[in-house]
Amino acid sequence: MAEHFSHLIRGSGPGLLLAHGGGGSIEGNYGMLIDELARTHTVIGPDYPGSGETPRSETPLDLDSVTDAVVGTAVAAGVERFTVLGYSLGTAVAVRAATRHPDRVTGLILTSGFSHPSNKLRLAADVWRALLDAGDRRLLAKYLMVMGSGERALNSLSPAELDAALDGLAAFVPAGTPEHVDLVSSVDTRAELAGISVPTLVIATTADALASPALSAELAAGIPGARLAEVDAGHNIGAEAREKWLETIQKFLSEIG
């Protein structure tokens, strides 16, 4: 795996390193936030192998290597210290960055995250992987819509809107998704949480059927001094609660300076 990933870099000011979710990308998971975040921060967003322009890995991914490459991408781009904003699988990358590169990380924001997959999340990842292997993109999109959407947001869609959303989801399946999903199943950062000493905000998505709010609560309880905030959204927080998510992030960033 490459030591650096393809990435975007925008804005100026303190560093803000983005770590995206499994089966996602920087644009897919954070595109709705980047312009606003770049008003106050130098935002750098590396895409994992098989997402964006980063070549797919020919070997299984491991959390240390992905984390080192994410951090290395920021440093190579001239962003030497940064808060890490992690989403879903990216929360594990963020935690590992804080423990492997403590001289680099100044804060953590962990959204829709987990320190280890619960049985439900592990089973969901198993089904996700099987659907990827089967190659039925439409069925995969339906599954991800059921697991990734808050019930209220999903039921608010008209038939035409639902159909369009499924089309978009089916079209957006990064080539590296199988390796990302396998990495989700292998994550375990529980032993390192107590050693984190930077300001930390955990954002739980309360209507999340994939990474339940209980998993966010576990993260917050394990990290000394971490704050826990709640946003009424499913796993797809960027689409369902963009304004609230952005407001919560910006408030924390302004407080830690």
3 confidence band (pLDDT: 50, 70, 90): confident
Q: Specify if 63 maps to a domain.
A: yes
Q: What was the pLDDT predicted at 89?
A: 98
Q: Specify if 137 maps to a domain.
A: no
Q: Specify if 140 maps to a domain.
A: no
Mean pLDDT value across the chain: 96
Domain that holds residue 42: 7-119+175-256
Q: What was the pLDDT predicted at 4?
A: 87
For 202-224, write each residue's pLDDT tens digit.
999 999 999 999 999 999 999 99
Q: What was the pLDDT predicted at 2?
A: 63
Number of C-beta neighbours around residue 154 at 10 A: 18
Tally of domains within the chain: 1
Q: For residue 226, is pLDDT > 80?
A: yes
CA count, 13 A, side-chain hemisphere, 26: 24
Q: For residue 44, is pLDDT > 70?
A: yes
Q: Specify if 156 maps to a domain.
A: no
Q: Specify if 188 maps to a domain.
A: yes
Both tokens assigned to 125:
């990842």
Conformational region of residue 60, where left means phi above 0, alpha means psi within -120 to 50, and beta covers everything else: beta
Which residue bears the tokens 């959303």? 165
Whichever domain contains 24, its CATH number is: 3.40.50.1820
pTM confidence score: 0.97
For 77-120, write each residue's pLDDT tens digit.
999 999 999 999 999 999 999 999 999 999 999 999 999 999 99
Percentage of residues of the chain with pLDDT beyond 90: 98
Q: Specify if 97 maps to a domain.
A: yes
Q: What was the pLDDT predicted at 134?
A: 96
Q: What is the 3 state secondary structure string of the chain?
A: CCCCCCEEEECCCCEEEEECCCCCCHHHHHCCCHHHHCCCCEEEEECCCCCCCCCCCCCCCCHHHHHHHHHHHHHHCCCCCEEEEEECHHHHHHHHHHHHCCCCEEEEEEECCCCCCCHHHHHHHHHHHHHHHHCCHHHHHHHHHHHHCCHHHHHCCCHHHHHHHHHHHHHCCCCCHHHHHHHHHHCCCHHHHHHCCCCEEEEEECCCCCCCHHHHHHHHHHCCCCEEEEECCCCCHHHHCHHHHHHHHHHHHHHHC
Q: For residue 154, is pLDDT > 90?
A: yes
Q: Specify if 189 maps to a domain.
A: yes
Q: Are 8 and 76 in contact (CB under 8 A)?
A: no
Q: What was the pLDDT predicted at 1?
A: 62
